[in-house]
Amino acid sequence: MKRASSFLSFTLFFSFSLFVSSPAFPHGGGLDAYGCPHNRKLGGYHCHRGSLAGQSFASKEEMLKKLSAEKTNEPPAKEQVPQPK
């Protein structure tokens, strides 16, 4: 009987601790594939990860335009020229 009571107490304590010690997040939205969330309360779109980390935009479409422009302005990959033997 004491063993069952101890098990029940442990189970209740463990279950309660899961609810109490849940992590806090700065905003409720998760990050999308670009590493950016949409701010539903204030509007706008900002990035935490990727090449646009730390930047804010009026919308996701504005961010995609900037991302596309960055990708087209990248210098071309250097070709490896074969060395004469």
Any idea where the domains of the chain sit in the sequence? Answer: 29-72
pLDDT tops 60 at residue 25: no
Q: Tell me what percent of the chain is helix, strand and coil, each rounded to the nearest 5.
A: 40, 5, 55
pLDDT tops 70 at residue 82: no
Which pLDDT value is given to residue 46? Answer: 92
**% residues pLDDT > 70 (the chain):** 60
Which pLDDT value is given to residue 42? Answer: 82
The whole-angstrom separation of Cα 51 and Cα 39 is 19
- pLDDT confidence tier of residue 8, bands split at 50, 70 and 90: confident
Of the two residues 22 and 57, the one the predictor is more confident about is 57
Q: What is the dihedral of CA 41, 47, 52, 54, to 10 degrees?
A: 90
Name residue 60's amino acid.
K
